[in-house]
């Protein structure tokens, strides 16, 4: 008996240190399940089956869970990533009919967002008690930001949108690779347009009182569906009581002599912030717009043929009163 107690004590020490480890890549790796019900006192062991909406993004960690309940002593716990089963064994009576299990996840091979759920809870001898107890979970959404390519729906890489002041709205672009022809997508819940140059563009809202914005891409191709975490973009806080920029229209004329861009609107900000305080960006873009011709209500620029603006592009205007965007009307092609 003394040897058994010693062994259990060593197991408890090992699982405690394992639970303190941090698994890189996930926005959160430690979760709790609260179990409520009188059936806890009719057994001294549980098997909990956990599944993931996308097991390529996150999975159970092999780190031993921790079981806690008033009046009970944890004897043994385990977590099996291959089966998705958490096992806990304890001794004692639980007068509150409530127990808490803390467990860990580890990152999978794919970037994106996944959710987990409890499929089944079994007591000793494999008796299914799922419908006879109450389960309370932490928010079961997990983001893996350091995975590899998403397959089979392609690879996606965020392009720098430049300086952004919030609140407002901005066009965001990302590079694509090996995407299927029937792919559709949403960026933070809003539709995405795919351009001919293997680039996707979406318009997102920039929230007030936030230092950064997380960009989540939902992609669909036939029966395949993935959530891709593109990353975060930094947001500068806009000054209140000032008018944010407004773009009424934007167009470009592409021809062999050069590409003429014109943008019209109001509150472009040069009176208060100067030309150097206003950020102009073509999205997506290798094109750099000069601020030399920036006025209060308009701007224009002539771009080289190598900077041809393609159909589906946007222009972002951002200054310390906010950010706005407008789709550019394109005349002429980039085939010279």
Is residue 55 scored above 60 in pLDDT? yes
Domain with CATH 2.60.40 in the chain: 2-144
pLDDT band at 180 (very low <50, low <70, confident <90, very high): confident
Is residue 271 scored above 80 in pLDDT? yes
Cα–Cα distances in angstroms (integers) from residue 30 to residues 27, 89, 144, 237, in the given order: 10, 20, 14, 32
Is residue 147 scored above 70 in pLDDT? no
What are the pLDDT digits (tens) for 14-25?
333 233 222 247
Q: Is 28 exposed, middle or buried (0-12, 13-18, 19+ CB in 10 A)?
A: middle
What are the pLDDT digits (tens) for 56-78?
888 999 999 999 999 999 999 99
- Give the pLDDT of residue 85: 95
pTM above 0.85, yes or no: no
Residue scoring higher pLDDT (221 or 131): 131
DSSP 312: T
H-type alpha helices, 267-329? 270-273
What are the pLDDT digits (tens) for 273-326?
888 889 999 999 766 788 889 999 999 998 877 778 888 999 999 999 999 999
- Give the pLDDT of residue 212: 87
Both structure tokens of 68 = 């806690």
Question: Using CA atoms, how far apart are residues 144 and 56, in angstroms rounded to an integer?
Answer: 10
Domain 2-144 fold is Immunoglobulin-like (2.60.40)
Strands 236-237 and 165-166: parallel
């Amino acid at each position: 008996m003394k040897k058994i107690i010693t062994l259990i004590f060593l197991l408890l020490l090992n699982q405690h240190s394992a639970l303190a480890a941090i698994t890189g890549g996930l926005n959160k790796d430690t979760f709790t399940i609260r179990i409520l019900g009188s059936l806890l006192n009719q057994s001294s062991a549980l098997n909990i089956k956990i599944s993931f909406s996308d097991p390529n993004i996150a999975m159970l960690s092999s780190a031993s869970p921790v079981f806690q309940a008033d009046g009970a002593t944890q004897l043994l716990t385990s977590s099996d990533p291959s089966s998705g089963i958490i096992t806990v064994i304890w001794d004692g009576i639980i007068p509150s009919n409530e127990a808490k299990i803390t467990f860990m996840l580890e990152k999978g091979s794919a970037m994106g967002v996944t959710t987990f759920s409890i499929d089944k809870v079994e007591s000793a001898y494999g008796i299914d008690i799922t419908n006879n107890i109450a389960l309370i979970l932490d928010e079961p959404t997990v983001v893996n930001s350091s995975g590899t390519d998403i397959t089979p729906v392609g690879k996606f890489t965020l392009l720098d949108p430049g300086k952004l002041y919030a609140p407002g709205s901005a066009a965001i672009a990302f590079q694509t690779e090996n995407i299927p022809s029937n792919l559709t997508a949403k960026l933070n819940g809003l539709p995405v347009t795919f351009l001919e140059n293997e680039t996707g563009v979406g318009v997102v809202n920039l929230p007030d009182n936030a230092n950064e914005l997380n960009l989540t891409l939902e992609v669909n191709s036939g029966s395949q569906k993935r959530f891709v975490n593109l990353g975060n973009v930094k947001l500068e806080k806009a000054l209140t009581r000032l008018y944010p920029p407004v773009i009424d229209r934007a167009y470009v004329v592409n021809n062999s002599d050069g590409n003429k861009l014109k943008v019209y609107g109001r509150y472009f900000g040069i009176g208060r912030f100067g030309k150097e305080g206003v950020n102009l960006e073509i999205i997506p873009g290798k094109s750099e717009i000069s601020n030399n011709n920036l006025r209060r209500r308009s701007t224009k620029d002539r771009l080289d043929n190598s900077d041809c603006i393609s159909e589906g592009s946007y222009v972002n205007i951002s200054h310390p009163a906010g950010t706005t965007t407008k789709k550019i009307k394109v005349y002429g092609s980039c085939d010279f």
